[in-house]
Amino acid sequence: MKTDIAIKVDHVAKKYCKSLKRSMLYGVKDIGRNILGMSSHSNKLRSEEFWALDDISFKVKKGETLGIIGPNGAGKTTLLKLLNGIFWPDKGKITTDGKVGALIEVGAGFHPLLTGRENIYINAAILGMSKQEVEKRFDSIVEFADIGDFLDSPVKHYSSGMFVRLGFAVAVHCEPDILLVDEILSVGDIDFQSKCFKKMQEIVDRKVSIVFISHNSDAIRRICNQVIYIRQGKLIGYGKPEKMILKYQKDIFFNKNENLKDLNKISTKEIQRRGTNEARITKVDILDKDNKIKSMFKMGEKIVIQINYSASQRINRPIFLVGIKDSNGIYCIEADSEKDGFNLDFISGKGCVKIIFDNFNLASGGYVVNIKLRQKGAVGYMDIIKNEFHFYIESFHHMKGLFNIDRNWKKVI
Amino acid sequence: MSKNYITYEPDNSLKKGYLSLFREIFNELKNNRWLTYQLFKRDFLAVYKQSFVGVFWAFIIPIISVGTFIILNHSGIFSVGEIDVPYPLYAILGLAFWQLFSAGLISSSNCLVKAGSMITKINFSKKSLVIASAAQSIVSFLIQFILLLVLFAIYGVAPRITILLFPVFIVPIMLLTLGFGFILSLFNGVFRDVGNIISVIVTFLMFLTPVLYSKPKIGILASISKYNPLYYLISAPRELILMGTIPEWKGFLASCIFSGFIFIICLVCFHLTETRVAERI
């Protein structure tokens, strides 16, 4: 084995048991077999067991940062626990070279009744620091945690933010060669988050190998060299962060909307919704420049959303609202027909309006369309359709930011 | 290759062989001394911070149980047998050694379950955790020892000089406690029932072992005591302190060897299977 490799994971698998009673039984059986010096035959599945991780292989070089992405329940944390040696693999082999530190749950070893000061010592010992190391780094830990006078009060009186700060402060002062980080940077206030990030960046610069789980694609992009993408315990992709994140986001989108085309075609009659019944949206189509129904677009392409309606009576001054939300639920666009200067005097019977985006410049990702119909001066809406129509924007080069604005560069002097 | 080179694979220890196992265990215990001390301190502080009476608990419990026996003995329901020294002295001395075993076993067998999320979230030496919890019983032993010295003064009985040897005499009983503690903490991690059973069994064992009464000459209890290592491990130091000799030294020696074996076997078993428990807790 080459010495520049910090972590090597070789066809690793881990199984879990769905039933609690059986899991206890298997546990005793395995313990018994291990005691007697027999192999536990861990490579075979028994009834009600399943592979939580299956055939995972990757390498992390020294000083490299590996990101792990995937949906909830994909086995990300299990993988991290395997790397830390909390669990042992049932198949395959894991080799680590260097002192391993893990930030799987902050403050896991804290005792609520003891003071912050006492807990720092205990937690540091649990995390593998020696007495000299703790004494040397104690002041730095206290300074980083920034909990002031609370240092000498019992931890149970801490706010959850303070608790996390103290836990993180201890954990980052372990100075390991390999650092395993679970999704924990998303806690604490903004100020502390940026402090954590700065510390992480410092650790990255110190040439520590890092394995990093996060749902924050921006964080992954910023600090990872390589990313593995796992889903349902299987390794789906292994490569550059940009490519893997795109792949993951696309998968999330299409997983949620398996029959994307059919879905966008369904009759709006089937959708349960609110609204006074005076006018109804009967059909919504998302079209491209050739008036073809599509759900996959390139960034900057022309997109047309066509709304068919049916009004049971004459409706004066109708207003159409088209909202477009990204996968994080953030409203990117809300187009209001009245404010856009598209004023209809009245509608009655069946009809169709369309909104045209000549350059749809939102960044790559999945989007959902919300459509509302109301009458000027009325309080409620006549019809609301939310989260039913989806489309996806693809771009070949990564763009930071939410959208692309037309722009020019000029050399002035 | 650096010294931190670690490999994880199924049936890891089996592939390495039993000899390197002992070295591994020894190194682990040696490197984690400070951790063991910190865990011990944590348990100790937590217990004595939380209760108002604090250290007096260690006095109250033996006084109540010995008091019960005195009443039972006086009213003729139960006979404590022939004892040369004042009964409270005899009983409390016995109880102090007994609770090394009972309290140590109960706290160590529960320690993995109590640690819970710590075990599933951090990789640290679980042996340290078991040792630190078993050692809690030494604290109450030392507190009870003070009570004992007071009793010696009250009854005007002088302990033999051999009383100074007590740190040596708690070693075999602690080894036995730790041995059982290791194995039972594992099983308790998998089956919670084990924890409940242990406290019942420990009470049962106390009545089976001549702790609060003298060893009967005949009958079932006499023959059980003959093969009960706990009896020898408690009575030998007690007799040494009260009389300066160990009449049943052969039994004591055999019990010491037995304790040593139990300790080593259970420690190895624990080492081989400790990672299994993290998955099940």
User: What are the pLDDT digits (tens) for A153-203?
Assistant: 888 888 888 888 888 888 888 888 888 888 766 666 777 778 887 888 888
Paired tokens of A384:
């609301």
Residues A299 and A291: their CA atoms lie apart, in Å, by: 17
Q: Provide the domain count of chain B.
A: 1
Q: Which of A122, A17, A288, A280 is nearest to B276 (CA)?
A: A17
Tell me the pLDDT band of A263, cut-offs 50, 70 and 90: very low
Q: Do B273 and A39 touch (CB under 8 A)?
A: no
Q: What average pLDDT does chain B have?
A: 84
Q: Do A130 and B34 touch (CB under 8 A)?
A: yes
Chain B residues with CB inside 8 Å of A100's CB? 4, 6, 123
* CA of B268 vs chain A CAs: smallest distance (Å): 8
pLDDT digits 0-9 by tens, A325-358: 987 778 889 999 999 998 888 888 889 999 999 9
Q: What average pLDDT does chain A have?
A: 83
Chain B residues with CB inside 8 Å of A105's CB? 117, 121-122
Q: Do A91 and B120 touch (CB under 8 A)?
A: no
Residues B125 and A126: their CA atoms lie apart, in Å, by: 8
Average pLDDT, stretch A11-30?
Answer: 83
The chain B residue lying nearest A85, using CA atoms, is B123
Residues A155 and A166: their CA atoms lie apart, in Å, by: 10
Question: Taking 80 as the threshold, does the pLDDT of residue A399 lie above it?
Answer: no
Chain A with chain B: Cβ pairs closer than 8 A: 143
Tell me the pLDDT band of A261, cut-offs 50, 70 and 90: very low
**Burial of residue B281, with CB atoms counted within 10 A of its CB: 0-12 exposed, 13-18 middle, 19 or more buried:** middle
Instruction: Give the residue, A82 or B52, on which the prediction is more confident.
Output: A82
Q: Do A94 and B41 touch (CB under 8 A)?
A: no
Instruction: Give the residue, A259 or A290, on which the prediction is more confident.
Output: A290
- B147 within some domain: yes
Provide φ and ψ at B117, rounded to 5°. Answer: -65, -25
Q: What is the pLDDT of residue A397?
A: 66
Paired tokens of A72:
């909830």
* CA of A211 vs chain B CAs: smallest distance (Å): 15
User: Which domain range does residue B218 map to?
Assistant: 42-280
- B157 within some domain: yes
Question: Taking 50 as the threshold, does the pLDDT of residue A262 lie above it?
Answer: no
- B25 within some domain: no
Q: What is the pLDDT of residue B1?
A: 41
A146: left (phi over 0), alpha (psi -120 to 50) or beta: left
Mutate to test the interface with A, among B2, B111, B123, B126 (most CBs of A within 10 A): B123
Paired tokens of A391:
């489309």
Instruction: Give the residue, B166 or A185, on which the prediction is more confident.
Output: B166
- B5 within some domain: no
The chain B residue lying nearest A104, using CA atoms, is B121
CATH of A260-394, one of 2.40.30.10, 1.10.3720.10, 2.60.40.10, 2.70.50.60: 2.70.50.60
pTM above 0.80, yes or no: no
Chain B residues with CB inside 8 Å of A94's CB? 7-9
Average pLDDT, stretch A137-160?
Answer: 88
Q: Do A118 and B269 touch (CB under 8 A)?
A: no
Query: Which one of B41, B118, B187 has the shortest CB-CB distance to A109?
Result: B118
Question: Taking 50 as the threshold, does the pLDDT of residue B251 lie above it?
Answer: yes
Q: What is the pLDDT of residue A148?
A: 83
Q: Which residues in chain A (103-122) have CB-CB distances under 8 A to chain B?
A: 104-105, 108-109, 111, 113-114, 118, 121-122
CA angle, B256 then B257 then B261, to 5°: 115
Q: What is the pLDDT of residue B257?
A: 95
- B226 within some domain: yes
Q: What is the pLDDT of residue A184?
A: 67
Residues of B with CB under 8 A from a CB of A: 1-2, 4-14, 34-35, 38-39, 41-42, 45-46, 49-50, 117-124, 186-187, 190-191, 269, 272-273, 275-280
The separation between CA A251 and the C-alpha centre of its own chain, rounded to angstroms, equals 12
Chain A residues with CB inside 8 Å of B186's CB? 31
Q: Do B38 and A125 touch (CB under 8 A)?
A: yes
CB-side exposure of A237: number of CA atoms within 13 Å? 19
Residues A346 and A348: their CA atoms lie apart, in Å, by: 7
Question: Taking 90 as the threshold, does the pLDDT of residue A215 lie above it?
Answer: no
Strand A318-326, strand A365-375: pairing: antiparallel
A122-136, B13-27, B155-169: lowest mean pLDDT where?
A: B13-27
Give me the interface pTM, i.e. the ipTM.
0.84
Are A128 and A189 contacting, i.e. CB atoms less than 8 angstroms apart? no
Paired tokens of A20:
């609690």
| Residue owning tokens 């792949």 | A247
pLDDT digits 0-9 by tens, A54-100: 889 999 998 899 999 988 888 888 899 899 888 888 888 899 888 88
| Domain residue extents for chain A | 260-394
Query: Which one of A37, A88, A97 has the shortest CB-CB distance to B10?
Result: A88
| Three-state DSSP state, A384 | strand
Question: Taking 80 as the threshold, does the pLDDT of residue A147 lie above it?
Answer: yes
Average pLDDT, stretch A383-387?
Answer: 83
Residues A185 and A104: their CA atoms lie apart, in Å, by: 11
What letter represents residue B158's amino acid?
A: A
Q: Which of A310, A306, A284 is nearest to A389 (CA)?
A: A284
A37 at interface of B, judged by CB pairs closer than 8 A: yes
A380 at interface of B, judged by CB pairs closer than 8 A: no
